[in-house]
Amino acid sequence: MLYGKRDRDEVEFLEPIFGSESEKVDLPKYKLNDEPIEPRTAFQLVQDEMLDEGNARLNLATFCQTYMEPEAVELMSRTLDKNAVDKSEYPRTAEIENRCVNMIASLWHAQENEAFMGTSTIGSSEACMLAGLAMKFSWRKRAEKLGLDTAAKKPNLVISSAYQVCWEKFCVYWDIELREIPIDEKHLSINLNTVMDYVDEYTIGIVGILGITYTGRYDDIRTLNELVEVYNAQTEYKVYIHVDAASGGFYTPFVEPDLLWDFRLENVISINASGHKYGLVYPGVGWVVWRDKHYLPKELVFEVSYLGGELPTMAINFSHSAAQLIGQYYNFVRYGFNGYQAIHERTHEIAVFLAKEIQKTDIFEIINDGSQLPLVCYKLKADAEREWTLYDLSDRLLMKGWQVPAYPLPKSMDTTVIQRIVVRGDFGMNIAADFIEDFNEAITALNNAHLVYHKQKEIKKYGFSH
């Protein structure tokens, strides 16, 4: 043995990791190794596996949080062992979730004369699934009462074609027709001239998006609410709005408090948001709130025992760690309204700064200049003379570690390729200035480079776009 007669613990402690037995062999990757290995060596091995992976904070593709305060991380790591669903064992944690739901309902202007209901979820995808199910069940009840043969046709959901994939999943899982209103050059969000043409007595609801994932553009929920009002006045088959505010739900209330999109609008019956987007929590936590329990059919609410009493639960997932919930509560307590506002306003200013700098190059057309969600989104000007594409620019930026995705817009506009930069709270002005320097350098390098030009127009996605 390397260290002679010392005891085993000491040997393991003194042995250099990179001189250890486990480091000498290529451990099996797709089946378990036979023997255990030391924790510190395992730690090093696993960490090293990810060495060449992107740095999350330089990932400008994601809306998901890439920074939390050390105190939040400490709290979360101390609560990883709590099972969020075990309300009788962890009644305080259940109360924390309850407080969060109340805070969020108030942020979204739940009305005094109604009884809101809400729950945490793993993310907006689960939240949308629940909101969609509630719409389907409520629709069926209303329609049956009116004597409609609900089995004669598939029920449908009306949404703009710039929907996030979770709505496609919802429709496939629950056998619903996804009625897409195509976006076009003039209507980059829901087309209010045509939306009501898609609605009929089999429509379970209309989804408005507060912050289209592709471009950050808002659907005009206020006008949509008015259109629904007029529609409902002339039919027994009422239709209501769900707002998918995955990213806007925790952003807009702070930055544009006067924008009407939430429960202040009567026909908005439910809203979802991702706590791990502008709620500033690490993935995965999401939220869904109904303006009144009336819109959440009883069949979807299950009672679990809680301190000798019963507590309603409506999430799809069962066991999962409560750490994310605790992280959300920490942020609410720590930042308060003004703290969130300060962070988001600064994030907004940085997006505006980036947009201005990108505009200065004179080769891009800006699609979102940071005025709706703090993100910048642009395409190459049609007349700009150059022999490179946004995909080449993405590659070039990746050389400096920046992950900036390029991807086509949804189906009806998929010949338009855009690039998107999502600005998050931890992207400060110093990093932004560094980024712009690298961005300009990348453009100069591409302009001077001899590239083999892509002869065929490709439609591809680069980096993920959620």
Contact between 419 and ligand PLP by CB under 6 A: the answer reads no
Using H for helix, E for strand and C for coil, what is the string for 158-189?
Answer: EEECCCCHHHHHHHHHCCCEEEEECCCCCCCC
The set of residues, in sequence order, having a beta carbon less than 8 Å from that of 429 and lying 6+ positions away, is 350, 353
Amino acid (one-letter) located at 425: G
Task: By CB under 6 A, tell whether 180 contacts ligand PLP.
Answer: no
Distance CA 259, CA 253 (A): 8
Enumerate the β-bridge partners of residue 270: 242, 290
Q: CA dihedral in degrees (62, 68, 73, 76; nearest 10)?
A: -60
Separation in Å, CA 70 to CA 48, 110, 122, 278, 325: 23, 33, 22, 18, 16
Amino acid found at 160: S
Segment lying near ligand PLP (by CB under 6 A), choices 41-49, 117-125, 147-155, 290-298? 117-125
Compute the least distance from the CB of residue 244 to ligand PLP, in Å.
Answer: 5
**Contacting residue, 65, 79, 156, 213, with ligand PLP by CB under 6 A:** 213
Residue 88 CB-half CA count within 13 A:
8
Which residue of 107, 158, 166, 351 would you call a contact of ligand PLP, by CB under 6 A?
166
Question: For ligand PLP, which is the closer residue by CB, 200 or 220?
Answer: 220
Q: Which of 208, 249, 253, 286 is close enough to bind ligand PLP by CB under 6 A?
A: 286
Tokens (6 digits) for 127: 């939240």
Binding of residue 164 to ligand PLP (CB under 6 A): yes
55-94 footprint of ligand PLP as x/- string (CB under 6 A): --------x-------------------------------
Q: Identify which of residues 123 and 405 has a Cβ nearer to ligand PLP in the complex.
A: 123
Residue 283 CB, nearest approach to ligand PLP (Å): 7
Of the candidate residues 124, 324, 347, 419, the single one contacting ligand PLP (CB under 6 A): 124
Region of 131-139, 244-252, 389-397, 418-426 interacting with ligand PLP (CB under 6 A): 244-252
Stretch of 177-185, 186-194, 241-249, 410-418 lying at the interface with ligand PLP (CB under 6 A): 241-249
Residue 125 as a binder of ligand PLP (CB under 6 A): the answer is: yes
Note whether 410 binds ligand PLP by CB under 6 A.
no
Site membership for ligand PLP, residue 123 (CB under 6 A): yes
- Count residues contacting ligand PLP (CB under 6 A)? 15
Give the nearer residue to ligand PLP in terms of CB position, either 332 or 388.
332
User: C-beta of 65: minimal distance to ligand PLP in Å?
Assistant: 11
Rounded distance, CA 384 to CA 387, Å? Answer: 10
How many CB atoms are closer than 10 A to CB 320? 18
Measured from the CB atom, is 119 or 164 closer to ligand PLP?
164
Does 209 engage in binding with ligand PLP (CB under 6 A)?
A: yes
Q: 275-303 burial string, b = 16+ CB within 10 Å, else e?
A: bbbbbbbbbbbbbbbbbbeebbbeeeeee
Answer whether 170's CB lies under 8 Å from 217's CB.
no
Phi, psi (degrees; rounded to nearest 5) at 186: -85, -25
Strands 241-244 and 203-209: parallel
Of residues 59, 65, 203, 274, which one binds ligand PLP by CB under 6 A? 274
For residue 285, the minimal CB distance to ligand PLP (Å) is 8
Residue ranges in contact with ligand PLP by CB under 6 A: 63, 123-125, 128, 164, 166, 209, 213, 244, 246-247, 274, 286, 466
